[in-house]
Structure 1
Amino acid sequence: MTQWNSTASAAARNLGGNSICCGLTALLPLIAGPITAGCRGFAPSLGWLLMVVFCLIVLALAVHLLFDALLFRLASSHETEAAGLAAVDDLLSRMQLRKPDRTPRGLDMRIAGSRRIVWRQRLALAACLVIFAILLFTAGDGQPLC
């Protein structure tokens, strides 16, 4: 296995693990919200809707990152970096997700793009959890839940 194959495989593993972890963490407030609503009444509807929007953003980005992980796995299955990235570009153009570029981006640029998506996902997850904590605190008026 060459250096770029191991780099692409590691990127696929990291993206997959991150997307599953953040996706499951985003599901927790969606599950716990209605349960806590039965105890004391949850909170203003606007806060609840804002939290749901951020949770859905995290889940959408998790799906996007899983797709990116599959693309990195596809690239790492080829013998050369050029062949692997050409296969990814061909797949994306056949799916009509991206127009073919004149100058294809390298592996490092693609990993950097996925890292930006990971940071956006983490930011949305942090916002979701902060809103959920605020909603829990205001719903109980400082009293313990249930």
Structure 2
Amino acid sequence: MTAWKTATKSAARRLRRNGFIGGGAVLLILALAPPTAGAHGFAGPLAWWLLLAFCLLPLAFSIHLLFDAALFRLAASHDAEEAGLAAIDDVLVRMGLRAGDGATRTLPERLAGCRRLVWLQRISLAAGMALYAILLLDAAGGGA
């Protein structure tokens, strides 16, 4: 197995894991927030809308990461690196997600973009968890 194929399969596995764990954490927060944090206290509707926004954002990033993992698995199914990366570009062009300009990004450039997505997912998930903690503390304090 070539080095690029190993790197691609490893990246797909990591992206898939980050997508599922982040998505699961968000869904857990969304499921636990209403019964545990309640809808009373000083945290009014704005806090709940912010919590929803900061939970939907990492969920969207998780879906994007799972899509990228599928693209990397597609690339790893080809024998040559150029063919695998061209297959990714072909899928993106056919779906209308990328312009067919003929420029193919390298594997390190694609991996850097995925790392950026993982960090954005983590930051937005941390913000959602902080908002949930605030709502939970407000409910435990029995705010007026």
With the length of structure 1 as denominator, give the TM-score of the two structures. 0.91
Residue 20 (structure 2) pairs with residue 41 (structure 1): no
Amino acid aligned to 1:84? G
TM-superposed CA distance for 1:102, in Å, is 3.7
Counterpart CA distance in 1 for 2:57 and 2:137 is 23
Residue identity (%): 51
Counterpart CA distance in 1 for 2:101 and 2:10 is 25
User: Residue 88 of structure 2 corresponds to which residue in structure 1?
Assistant: 88
Counterpart CA distance in 2 for 1:123 and 1:115 is 12
Contact 2:51 2:131 in 1 (8 A): yes
- Name stretches of at least 5 consecutive residues in structure 2 with no aligned partner: none
What SS does structure 2 have at the residue aligned with 1:115? helix
User: Residue 62 of structure 2 corresponds to which residue in structure 1?
Assistant: 62
Counterpart CA distance in 2 for 1:77 and 1:19 is 21
Runs of 4+, deviation exceeding 4 Å: none
Counterpart CA distance in 1 for 2:12 and 2:37 is 38
1:1-146 correspondence to structure 2 within 5 Å: 1-37=1-37, 41=40, 43-141=43-141
Question: Which string of whole-angstrom CA distances, capped at 9 and with x for unpartnered residues, describes residues 72-111 of structure 1?
Answer: 0000000000000011111110111101234311001001
Contact 2:37 2:132 in 1 (8 A): no
Counterpart CA distance in 1 for 2:126 and 2:55 is 10
CA shift in 2, pair 1:84/1:68, >3 Å = same
Aligned length: 142
TM-superposed CA distance for 1:123, in Å, is 0.2
With the length of structure 2 as denominator, give the TM-score of the two structures. 0.92
What SS does structure 2 have at the residue aligned with 1:46? helix
TM-superposed CA distance for 1:142, in Å, is 6.8
What SS does structure 1 have at the residue aligned with 2:104? coil
Amino acid aligned to 1:79? D
